[in-house]
Chains A and B, each alone.
Chain A
Amino acid sequence: MENALIIDKLYKAFGRDILKMDTDSDILTVMVSHPVIHEVIRFLKENEEMNFTFLTDLCGIHHPDRGLPLGVVYHLHNLTENIRIRIKTFVTVADPTVLTITNLFSAANWMERETYDFYGIIFQGHPNLKRILNVEYMDFFPMRKEYPLEDPTREDKDDRFFGR
Chain B
Amino acid sequence: MTDEKQYTTLNLGPTHPATHGIFQNVLTMDGEQIIDAEQTIGYIHRAFEKIAEHKPYYQITPLTDRLNYCSSPINNIGWHMTVEKLLGVKTSKRIDYLRIILMELARITDHLVCNSVVGVDSGALTGFIYVFQEREQVYEIYEEVSGARLTTNMGRIGGFERDLSLKAVKKIRDFLDHLPKVLHEFEKLLTRNRIFMDRTIGVGPITAERALNYGFTGPNLRAAGVDYDVRVMTPYSSYDDFDFIIPLGSQGDTYDRFCVRQQEVWESVKLVRNALENLPEGDFHMDVPQFYLPPKQDVYSKMEALIWHFKIVMGEIAVPAGEVYHSVEGGNGELGFYLVSDGGRTPFRLHFRRPGFIYYQAYPEMIRGGVLSDAILTMSSMNVIAGELDA
Contacts and interface: CB of A to CB of B under 8 A. Distances in A.
Q: Do A and B interact with each other, yes or no?
A: yes
Contacts, number: 85
Contact of B361 (A59, A84, A106): A106
B51 A25 contact: no
B44 to A, nearest CB: 10
A111 interface: yes
B276 interface: no
Interface stretch (A2-10, A13-21, A33-41, A50-58): A50-58
B6 interface: no
B215 A55 contact: yes
Nearest to A73: B338
Nearest to A71: B349
A75 B338 contact: yes
Interface string B297-325: 00000000000000000101000001111
A151 interface: no
B183 to A, nearest CB: 31
Contacts of B22: none
Contacts of A118: 49
Interface residues of A, number: 35
Interface stretch (B13-21, B124-132, B350-358): B350-358
Nearest to B216: A107
Contact of B325 (A27, A143, A149): A27
A26 B362 contact: no
Given A53-B212, A79-B228, A149-B51, A107 B390 contact: no
B325 A75 contact: yes
Given A54-B215, A56-B353, A109 B361 contact: yes
Contacts of A79: 212, 226, 228, 233
Contacts of A137: none
A55 B233 CA distance: 16
Contacts of B233: 79, 82
Interface in B42-90: 42, 45, 47, 49-51, 53-54, 85
A138 to B, nearest CB: 11
Interface centre among B85, B214, B233, B358 (most CB of A within 10 A): B358
A142 B324 contact: no
B373 interface: no
A57 B338 contact: yes
A149 B361 contact: no
Nearest to A162: B314
Nearest to A109: B361
Interface of B: 41-42, 45, 47, 49-51, 53-54, 85, 210, 212-215, 226, 228, 233-234, 314, 316, 322-327, 334, 336, 338, 340, 349, 351, 353, 357-358, 360-362, 390-391
The 3 residue pairs across chains A and B that have the minimum distance between CB atoms: A107-B215, A133-B42, A59-B351
19 contacts: A25-B324, A26-B324, A26-B325, A27-B325, A56-B327, A56-B334, A56-B353, A79-B226, A82-B234, A105-B213, A105-B215, A106-B214, A107-B215, A110-B357, A111-B358, A135-B42, A143-B50, A149-B50, A162-B314
